[in-house]
Amino acid sequence: MDLPLIVLLTSFIFLLVMNVPISFAIGLSTLFTLFAIGGMPAFQIVAQRIATGIDDFALLAIPFFILAGLLMGRGGIARRLIDFANVLVGRFPGGLSYVNIITCMLFGAISGSAVAAVSSVGGFMIPLMNKEGYARDFNASVSITAATTGLLIPPSNVMIVYSLATGGAVSIAAIFLAGFFPGFLMGLGLMIVSGIISIKRNYGRGVKFGLKEGIIKFFAALPPLFLVILVLGGILAGFFTATEASAIAVVYALLLSVVIYREVPIKEIPDILLQCGITTAVVMLLIGTSTAMSWVLNYENIPQDISAALLGLTDNRIIILLIINMLLLFVGTFMDMTPAVLIFTPIFLPIVTDLGMHPIHFGIVMIMNLCIGICTPPVGSCLFVGCGIANTTITNVIRHLIPFFIAMIVVLLITTFVPAISLLIPQMFGFN
């Protein structure tokens, strides 16, 4: 291991341990590595790479989708989706846990944010489940893990980042389509676990709606659900690009939340725009610094060295894919999804393509690994938000999360070794 790589790893780990924000940890460790390499203007290179990293038209979709998600989150969408999910599955034993999972799948798909799903859906469902006799830590576990399904079911910001990290080898539309089956499969796995636990603990049912009221709840949920059809349908039909679709999503969310539902007063719009700007700034800084670190890794030929080491270790495709999965699971425990995708896609993508794995398929596998990571300590954003809403501790929740983690890992392995789960829908629409 040469000096620059040692400097990169030790400085990055040290900064993380010192609780330095991840974007600054990435940027500073990259800067220290350039100093170790020597012979080049370190500050100028980092600044240049940050600027060029965010200078991409496709990235304009991210702030628009963030804004659309914020508008949907405050516009009463979660409550309508909860009622819709209650119509579908609330009558079964443990029905409220199913309602929680399905609503998180639907809301996460609309907002494109796992944290938004935990806060919006969990903020309503966890107190309701507590009231109905469900264990508090179980309720938090359901919300925390179910929220990640929205990152697999499009539209999803992390999928846009993956498309960028592949250098355009994978289109945004293709990776969007690839996420449907894996996202539903992940939700099904979580529902099976929650169902077994609910039956074992004799948890009750959700709200029972009559036929007429059920139909009303169903039609009330259609307008927000139409957003996914609008975005994907428009992209696939060629009416607009993913970036243009994100702007249309904002207009639609604004119309729905402010004009039709009237749950977002005009006076709250500036506050929502400010929150969107702050979130966007955080994401863009992560993208910029991650691009700089990725450049340094490539300059030092780290991806090629790792590829040679893995392929030299074994030529067994199954073992290599298992090793990559374990590495990504480990990375996801301490790194945010955006920098992880930008840094590790250039490292692992050449390896898996040499093994015959499709880049679209690998993108879904990578995102699934990192979805598990945001539910785990020490930096799992969904874990912290879910525990805060449930008014419980990470220590109490972890043991309840284990069965859900097992289900998520089983789904991950199935998706890894059955490519059709990710590739069937994209291939139906001509993405090969």
Supply the pLDDT for residue 336: 83
Please say whether the beta carbons of 299 and 42 come within 8 A: no
Rounded mean pLDDT, 338-367: 91
Can you read off the two tokens belonging to residue 30? 């990259």
**Cis peptide before 182, with omega less than 30 degrees from 0?**
no
Supply the pLDDT for residue 207: 61
Select the more confidently predicted residue: 363 or 219.
363
- The amino acid present at 130, given as its one-letter code, is N
pLDDT tens digits, 163-221? 989 987 899 889 999 999 999 999 999 999 998 998 888 886 666 666 777 788 788 88
Instruction: Evaluate if residue 420 carries a pLDDT over 80.
Output: yes
For residue 173, give the nearest of 256, 232, 213 by alpha carbon.
Answer: 232
Going by the DSSP 8-state scheme, the letter that residue 257 receives in this structure is I
Select the more confidently predicted residue: 12 or 2.
12
Return the percentage of the chain with pLDDT > 90, whole number. 28
Supply the pLDDT for residue 322: 93
**Residue 165: enclosing H or E segment and its boundaries?**
helix 157-165
Helices (H), 374-393: 381-390
Supply the pLDDT for residue 191: 92
Mean pLDDT of all residues in the chain?
A: 86
Rounded mean pLDDT, 46-75: 86
Please say whether the beta carbons of 159 and 176 come within 8 A: yes
Instruction: Evaluate if residue 313 carries a pLDDT over 60.
Output: yes
CA-to-CA distance for 154 and 375, rounded, in angstroms? 20
- Predicted confidence band of residue 48 (pLDDT cuts 50, 70, 90): very high
pLDDT tens digits, 87-139? 777 677 778 888 889 888 887 777 767 777 788 788 888 888 888 788 889 98
Supply the pLDDT for residue 1: 57
Supply the pLDDT for residue 299: 86
Please tell me which of 121-135, 245-259, 285-299, 356-370 the model is most confident about, judged by mean pLDDT.
356-370
- Predicted confidence band of residue 354 (pLDDT cuts 50, 70, 90): confident
Can you read off the two tokens belonging to residue 332? 């996801």
Query: pTM for the whole thing?
Result: 0.88
- The amino acid present at 329, given as its one-letter code, is L
Burial 217-247 (b: 16+ CB within 10 A, else e): beebbeebbebbeebbebbeeeeebbbbbbb
Going by the DSSP 8-state scheme, the letter that residue 259 receives in this structure is I
